[in-house]
Amino acid sequence: MKRRQLLSLAAAMSSGSLLSACGGGDTTATFERAQGAMEQPMAATTTYKSRVIVIGGGLGGATVAKYLRLWGDAIEVTLVERDTSYTSCILSSLVLTGQRSLSNQSFNYDKLISKYGIKRIQGEVVSIDPVAVKVTLADGKILSADRIVLAPGIDFDEVPGLGTSDKMPHAWKAGPQTALLASQLKAMPTNGTVILSIPPTPYRAAPAPYERASLIADWIKTKKPQGKLVVLDANPDFVIEKDNFSKAFFDLHKNIVTYVPNAAVTQVDPATMKVYTSQGVFAGDVVNLIPRQKAGKLVISSGLNNATSGRFAGVNVLSYASTVAGAEKIHVIGDSSATTQPKAGHMANQQAKVCADAISRILSGGSPDPAPVTNAAAFSAITQDQATWLTMGYQYDAPTLAMKVVAASSATSVGWSRGNFDDMGTWFQALMTDTFA
């Protein structure tokens, strides 16, 4: 797949299609349905036939809320989110190098409300009743619906020894910790050492820790020329884009990066800035500690986590409805779901569209599309002005009840370039426009 084809995916995404890099499934009707809906202003609905509550306003939650209003037959959509805006993790590592600000990463819900008629509640859900299809907010208010969509993102395991210390930020949820890590890097001695830990899979955004390491290494060359970076990977090898990232680590940044595989973090000591791992003890001036990840707290507290691993929510990928008995009217999308697809913002956007289409069909008396397709695309900065790209197409496989990679629709760049870096901005803007505008 050429770079221009990857960008055509971004163009299709901003036009409102179900992004598909592979054939199969009746996506043509869905595309025309979306395109037609996008051409018309969203009329105010006074009489609703059904109600859906969406919990979480990230890329998954905001997208599913928008497309439920576009595709649904008089569906009232209420979006519950604790924050006033969304701060994107995508491109947030460029905040660490000073190339972007957190304000560049922020997106509000104004157009979702004014243009698409989504009802917004700023608050926090403390419990869900999957049988009665009700949610209880922190202020005691109870909301009821025909369906509930959960898009709470990720949560983290506790790291022994870390406690409440902020000396080893993960910055894996963009926001205050991103700013904190950026300030720590800036204050680091010229000959200082940065430690970056990579958790065991699955985790949010598979290429992102390697991208962050590459960016920090490139930044060290110019800002801290005697500095070093130690990458502690809990996995036995690069989990994605091995050719590109291994060349970046062992060739381009070889004088900066020390890569340690099979280095699972066992405990830390913020007072001495030491990280204890299965491969020994490492000390640094700055520690970017990325813990092992699991579904958002609400998924686990509601008993929706997968019985096999207990870490993420089992779902039926035709609709993303929970596979827990009695909770079939609860849908879980994005990083909290347990599927064969990657945990990433672009994929959350994709799953949201499949989910919105399925719910709108179900609430109209129909059935979900029996052959959905999705696509995961990503760019990774290798230097402060060059990047790689990858894309992976998925199609529903009935025998396994799972989404299966379509090889013909999957590819990665050979090396990195300035053109890819520029295209990364185009892709990012198309994704955010599709989600929030």
CA–CA distance, 424 with 413 (Å, rounded to integer) = 13
- In this prediction, residue 39 carries a pLDDT of 37
Q: Which CATH superfamily is domain 3-155+294-436 in?
A: FAD/NAD(P)-binding domain (3.50.50.60)
CA–CA distance, 74 with 288 (Å, rounded to integer) = 46
Please choose, from the candidates 118, 114, 134, 138, the residue with its C-alpha nearest in 3D space to the C-alpha of residue 126: 138
Average pLDDT, 10 consecutive residues per value, the chain (437 residues)? 50 42 35 42 67 98 98 95 98 98 98 97 97 98 98 98 98 98 98 98 98 98 97 98 98 98 98 98 98 97 85 97 97 98 98 98 97 97 98 98 97 98 98 96
Contact yes or no for 204/89 (Cβ under 8 A)? yes
- In this prediction, residue 309 carries a pLDDT of 72
Domains of the chain: which residue ranges?
Answer: 3-155+294-436, 158-291
Residue 414 three-state SS: coil
3-class SS letters over 355-407? HHHHHHHHHCCCCCCCCCEEEEEEEEECCCCCEEEEEEEEEEECCCCEEEEEE
Please choose, from the candidates 133, 136, 130, 83, the residue with its C-alpha nearest in 3D space to the C-alpha of residue 108: 83
CA–CA distance, 219 with 35 (Å, rounded to integer) = 42
- In this prediction, residue 73 carries a pLDDT of 81
- In this prediction, residue 391 carries a pLDDT of 97
Residue 162 three-state SS: coil
- In this prediction, residue 5 carries a pLDDT of 52
Q: Which fold has domain 158-291?
A: FAD/NAD(P)-binding domain (3.50.50)
- In this prediction, residue 247 carries a pLDDT of 98
